[in-house]
Amino acid sequence: MAHTANSDFKTRLQNWIPKLVLSPSVAMMLVFVYGFILFSVYLSFTDSRLLPSYGWVGLENYSKLWRLSHWEISLKNMGIFAALYIAICTSIGLGLAIFLDQKIRGEGLLRPIYLYPMALSFIVTGTAWKWFLDPGIGLENVMHTWGWESFEFRWIKDRNFAIYTVVLAAVWQTSGFVMAMFLAGLRGIDNEILKAAQMDGASNWNLYRRIIIPQLRPAFLSAFVILSHLAIKTFDLVIALTGGGPGRATELPATFMYSYTFTRNQMGIGAASATIMLMTIAAIMIPYLYSELREKR
């Protein structure tokens, strides 16, 4: 091996450097993400309670999990929450971005106002929202003191509607960020095409529908990835805003998982719920990522 020509060695080194550079990240990812996922899946078949333990119990944790009405509630809530959250954030984000793109005066002021919620942690913002939504002290009370006696807004106290207040607060936090992504996408569109289309007499509505929005496809990808990851990880928000209540009406899989793993000392069931969550995420994300990444080749 010592006899290879110097230049040959250099080329080979050059071929290896990129992979070497990538390897620490790949190694970390394999151990800390996929290794841990495997570990967690393994735990879901064991009798782990307070700490991991390794007595094999087969599918017992899964059968217990599906007997819990609590788990069904959190799955149903996840469906409602994720669908509404992603849809509303995307539409508000896109709408605001389009509006803000119309040579608005004061854009420099409005943009940070839309963006700042992303900077706040929900540990305390949750309290502000909780007060605002509380009929006794918040919006309803203010409306009453302003003379609108019949005004009613008590979603947070109603177990059929409380999940929508979680959506509201979550939308508040991230829709501005989504706006920024779409705004960036809009600013990147070539104005020449638009001008040409305008010459042809296309209406604004058609310009957006036919030309502009289709060009925002990469922005939709980024928004979807970021929003769905935030939706799945929504945890602090629920804890601060409703504590999972009224009753258990606003539990989400993340709070379920945390509570079974850590506060209820039923790590096996917690791991089983995590496994199902991950499988669901994979079922949705893998086809999506596959189609998006493949087309770019």
Partner 1 sequence: MSVASQDTAIRTGRITRTLIYVVLILFALFYMLPLYVMVVNSVKPLSEITGGGMMNLPREFTLDPWFKAWSSAQIGVEPTGLAPYFWNSIKMVVPAVAISTVLGALNGYVLTKWRFKYDTILFGLMLFACFIPFQIVLIPMARMLGLMGLAGTTWGLALVHVVYGIGFTTLYFRNYYAVFPTELIRAAQIDGAGFFQIFWRILLPSSGPIAVVSIIWQFTNIWNDFLFGASFAGADSQPMTVALNNLVQASHGVKEYNVHFAGAILAAMPTLLVYIVAGRYFVRGLMAGSVKG
Partner 2 sequence: MRAILKSKATVVAAVMASTTMVAAEDVEVLHWWTSGGEAAALNVLKQDLEGQGIGWTDMPVAGGGGEQAMTVLRARVTGGNAPTAVQGLGFDILDWGNQGSLANLNDVAAKEGWDDVVPDALKAFAKVDGKWVSAPVNVHSTNWVWANKAVLDANGIAVPTTWDEFTAALDTLKSAGVTPIAHGGQAWQDATVFDAVAMSVLGPDGYKAAFIDLDEGTLGSEGMKEAFDRMAVIRANVDDNFSGRDWNLATAMVINGEAGFQMMGDWAKGEFLNADKVPGEDFLCFRFPGTAEQVTFNADQFMMFDQGGAVSAEQAALASAILSPSFQSAFNVVKGSVPARTDVSDADFDDCGKQGMKDLAAAAASGNLFGSMAHGHAAPASVKNAIYDVVTAHFNGEYDSETAVAELVDAVSIAK
Binding site residues, partner 2, CB under 8 A: 39, 49-52, 54, 64, 67-70, 130, 134-136, 154, 156-157, 159, 242-249, 259, 262-266
Closest by CA position to 167, among listed 107, 98, 108, 92: 92
Residue 290 interacts, among partner 2, partner 1, none and using kind-specific CB cut-offs from 5 to 8 Å, with partner 1
| Closer to partner 2 by Cβ: residue 108 or 136 | 136
- Residue 158: both structure tokens together: 């109603």
Residue 265 interacts, among partner 2, partner 1, none and using kind-specific CB cut-offs from 5 to 8 Å, with partner 2
Q: Provide the 3-class DSSP secondary structure of residue 214.
A: helix
CA-to-CA distance for 68 and 265, rounded, in angstroms? 16
Q: How far is the CB of 191 from partner 1 (least distance, A)?
A: 4
Q: Which residue has the tokens 């017992």?
A: 60
Q: How far is the CB of 23 from partner 1 (least distance, A)?
A: 10
Single out the segment in contact with partner 1 by CB under 8 A; choices: 65-73, 115-123, 150-158, 159-167.
115-123
Residue 93 to residues 128, 172, 231, Cα–Cα distance (Å): 23, 11, 16
β-strand partners of 46: 56
Residue 278 interacts, among partner 1, partner 2, none and using kind-specific CB cut-offs from 5 to 8 Å, with partner 1
Residue 37 near partner 1 by CB under 8 A = yes
Residue 170 interacts, among partner 1, partner 2, none and using kind-specific CB cut-offs from 5 to 8 Å, with none
In sequence order, what are the residues at sequence separation of 6 or more whose Cβ sits closer than 8 angstroms to the Cβ of residue 162? 155, 156, 242, 245, 246, 249, 250
Residue 187 near partner 1 by CB under 8 A = yes
Q: Which residue has the tokens 């929504």?
A: 234
Q: Which helix (H) or strand (E) holds 90?
A: helix 69-100
Single out the segment in contact with partner 1 by CB under 8 A; choices: 63-71, 80-88, 159-167, 218-226.
218-226
Among 123, 206, 214, 279, binds partner 1 (CB under 8 A): 123
Residue 83 near partner 1 by CB under 8 A = no
Q: How far is the CB of 135 from partner 2 (least distance, A)?
A: 6
Q: How many CA atoms lie within 13 A of 28 on its CB side?
A: 4
